[in-house]
Amino acid sequence: MARRSLVDYFHRFTVLGLVGLAGWGLWLTGAVYVSRIGTTERIPYGNPERETMTQATERIISTWKEFTKRQQEKKADEAKQV
């Protein structure tokens, strides 16, 4: 096994340090953001009265169910007329 040069170890240490610093910076940014808004509950982007992703998904699914039901009724009416 070949010995690693001092430059290789220095490079590894530098990269690991930068990755650690980036992770710490990301954590710090999130911590400051949460402390400034004063709450940790999930608020929809932009406005607390705006619908959440779950509510939007429920609305889309119910609209799709109504649409498919109308399409089936339309096809059934066409089949009766033929």
| Structure confidence at residue 44 (pLDDT) | 56
pLDDT in tens, the chain (82 residues): 578 899 999 999 999 999 999 999 999 998 888 777 766 566 556 666 777 778 888 999 999 999 999 999 999 999 888 7
CA 28 vs. chain centroid, Å, equals 20
Closest to 57 (Cα-Cα) out of 47, 44, 46, 73: 44
| Structure confidence at residue 11 (pLDDT) | 95
| Structure confidence at residue 15 (pLDDT) | 97
Distance separating alpha carbons of residues 56 and 22, to the nearest angstrom? 34
| Structure confidence at residue 1 (pLDDT) | 56
Distance separating alpha carbons of residues 44 and 56, to the nearest angstrom? 11
| pTM exceeds 0.85 for this model | no
Q: Within the chain, how many helices (H) and strands (E) appear?
A: 2, 0
